[in-house]
Structure 1
Amino acid sequence: MACDTRPEPQTQTTDLTSLDIEKSVLSHALQGLSTRPPLSTQETWTPHASPASLDVDGATALKPQEKEHVEDSPSRSTTAIPSEDSGSETQLNIPTEDRRKSIQVVLEQSGKKGEYVFTSKDPVFQDALQSGIRQEAEKLLGNEKIKNKPRDLIFTQQFTTFDRQNSSAAHSPFRGFFTLFWIAMGFILTRVAAGNYRTKGSIFGDAEILHLMVDRDLFVMFATDIAMCAASSFGFFLHKAIAKDYLTWNRSGWLIQSLWQIFFTLTIIWVTFWRHWPWTHTVFIVLHVFVLLMKQHAYSFYNGYLSQVYRRRNILKSKLDQLDATSAQETTEQASPTAETLTATGIDNPNEGDLTRRVSSGPKYSTNLSKEKSEIASIGQAIEAGKPLDEEQIDAFRRVLNTEITILDEELRGKCTTTDSVYPNNLTLANFIDWTCLPTLVYDQEYPRQERVNWWYVAEKSGATLGVIWVMIIISQAYIYPVVVETVRQRDAGMSLEMRWKEFPWVVSDMLFPMLLEQLLSWYVIWECLLNVLAEVTRFGDRGFYGAWWNSVSFDQYARDWNRPVHNFLLRHVYHSSISFFHLSKMQATFFTFFLSALVHEILMFCLFKKIRGYLFVFQLLQLPLAAFSKTKFMKGRDTLGNILFWFGMFIGPSVITSLYLIV
Structure 2
Amino acid sequence: RECFGLVVHFINLATMLTFPAAVVLMVPSMTPVGGAVALGTYTILFLKLYSYKDVNLWCRELSTIKVKKLVRSLSCPLPQLSQGDGHKVCYPGNLTIRDMYYFVSAPTLCYELNFPRSPGVRMSFLLRRLFEMLFFTQLLVGLIQQWMIPIIRSSMKPLEDMDLSRMTERLLRLAVPNHLLWLMFFYWFFHSSMNFTAELLCFGDRQFYRDWWNSESVTYFWQNWNIPVHKWCLRHFYKPLLRRGFGKMASQSAVFLLSAFFHEYLVSVPLRMFRLWAFMGMMAQLPLAWFVGRFLRGNYGNAAVWMSIIIGQPVAVLMYVHDYYVINYRQETD
Whether 1:552 and 2:220 are equivalent positions in the alignment is: no
Q: Residue type of the partner of 1:409?
A: L
Of 617, 631, 635, 2:279 maps to 617
Aligned residue runs from structure 1 range 40-119, under 5 A:
none
Whether 1:273 and 2:25 are equivalent positions in the alignment is: yes
Q: What is the CA-CA distance between 1:537 and the residue it aligns to?
A: 0.7
In the alignment, is the contact (CA less than 8 A) between 1:504 and 1:663 conserved in 2? no
Give per-residue Cα distances to partners, 1:483-518, cap 9 Å, x unaligned. 334556x5xxxx994447675324313311110011
In the alignment, is the contact (CA less than 8 A) between 1:419 and 1:425 conserved in 2? no
Question: What residue number does 1:578 align with?
Answer: 241
Aligned residue runs from structure 1 range 298-313, under 5 A:
298-313=51-66
In the alignment, is the contact (CA less than 8 A) between 1:504 and 1:659 conserved in 2? no
Identity %: 24
Whether 1:474 and 2:133 are equivalent positions in the alignment is: no
Q: What is the CA-CA distance between 1:271 and the residue it aligns to?
A: 1.9
Q: What is the CA-CA distance between 1:282 and the residue it aligns to?
A: 1.8
Whether 1:450 and 2:118 are equivalent positions in the alignment is: yes
Whether 1:285 and 2:38 are equivalent positions in the alignment is: yes
Q: What is the CA-CA distance between 1:305 and the residue it aligns to?
A: 1.8
In the alignment, is the contact (CA less than 8 A) between 1:501 and 1:663 conserved in 2? no
SS, match of residue 650 in structure 1: helix
Q: What is the CA-CA distance between 1:624 and the residue it aligns to?
A: 1.4
Q: Residue type of the partner of 1:532?
A: N
Whether 1:600 and 2:262 are equivalent positions in the alignment is: yes
Unaligned runs of 5+ in 2: 77-81, 324-334
In the alignment, is the contact (CA less than 8 A) between 2:151 and 2:170 conserved in 1? yes
Question: What residue number does 1:409 align with?
Answer: 74
Q: What is the CA-CA distance between 1:256 and the residue it aligns to?
A: 2.2
Q: How many Å separate the matches in 1 of 2:169 and 2:269? A: 26
Aligned residue runs from structure 1 range 510-659, under 5 A:
510-581=173-244, 583-632=245-294, 634-635=295-296, 638-659=297-318
Q: How many residues align?
A: 317
In the alignment, is the contact (CA less than 8 A) between 1:462 and 1:533 conserved in 2? yes
Q: What is the CA-CA distance between 1:613 and the residue it aligns to?
A: 1.4
Q: How many Å separate the matches in 2 of 1:517 and 1:282? A: 24
Q: Residue type of the partner of 1:644?
A: A
Q: How many Å separate the matches in 2 of 1:499 and 1:646? A: 28
Aligned residue runs from structure 1 range 112-261, under 5 A:
247-248=1-2, 251-261=3-13
Q: How many Å separate the matches in 2 of 1:622 and 1:642? A: 16
Distance 1:258 1:501, change over 3 A: farther
Give per-residue Cα distances to partners, 1:523-553, cap 9 Å, x unaligned. 1101000000011011111111100011111
Q: How many Å separate the matches in 1 of 2:152 and 2:18? A: 28
Q: How many Å separate the matches in 2 of 1:588 and 1:260? A: 28
Of 97, 103, 106, 1:438 maps to 106
Q: Normalization by structure 1: what TM-score?
A: 0.45
Aligned residue runs from structure 1 range 353-364, under 5 A:
none
Q: Residue type of the partner of 2:152?
A: V
Q: What is the CA-CA distance between 1:310 and the residue it aligns to?
A: 3.1
In the alignment, is the contact (CA less than 8 A) between 2:159 and 2:322 conserved in 1? no
Q: How many Å separate the matches in 2 of 1:526 and 1:297? A: 23
Whether 1:295 and 2:48 are equivalent positions in the alignment is: yes
Q: What is the CA-CA distance between 1:313 and the residue it aligns to?
A: 4.5
Give per-residue Cα distances to partners, 1:554-609, cap 9 Å, x unaligned. 1110001100000000001111122334x321111110001110111011220243
Q: How many Å separate the matches in 2 of 1:496 and 1:446? A: 54
Q: What is the CA-CA distance between 1:263 and the residue it aligns to?
A: 1.1
Give per-residue Cα distances to partners, 1:108-137, cap 9 Å, x unaligned. xxxxxxxxxxxxxxxxxxxxxxxxxxxxxx
SS, match of residue 539 in structure 1: coil
Of 61, 77, 91, 1:423 maps to 91
Q: Normalization by structure 2: what TM-score?
A: 0.87
Q: What is the CA-CA distance between 1:629 and the residue it aligns to?
A: 2.1
Distance 1:643 1:426, change over 3 A: same
Question: What residue number does 2:327 align with?
Answer: none
Q: How many Å separate the matches in 2 of 1:418 and 1:258? A: 35
Q: What is the CA-CA distance between 1:627 and the residue it aligns to?
A: 1.7
In the alignment, is the contact (CA less than 8 A) between 2:75 and 2:92 conserved in 1? no
Q: How many Å separate the matches in 2 of 1:496 and 1:472? A: 26
Q: Residue type of the partner of 1:280?
A: V
Q: What is the CA-CA distance between 1:663 and the residue it aligns to?
A: 2.9
Give per-residue Cα distances to partners, 1:263-298, cap 9 Å, x unaligned. 111111222223332222122112211111111111
Q: How many Å separate the matches in 2 of 1:421 and 1:410? A: 9
Q: How many Å separate the matches in 2 of 1:470 and 1:543? A: 25
In the alignment, is the contact (CA less than 8 A) between 2:75 and 2:91 conserved in 1? no
Task: Give the CA RMSD over aligned residues.
Answer: 2.5
Q: How many Å separate the matches in 2 of 1:573 and 1:500? A: 46
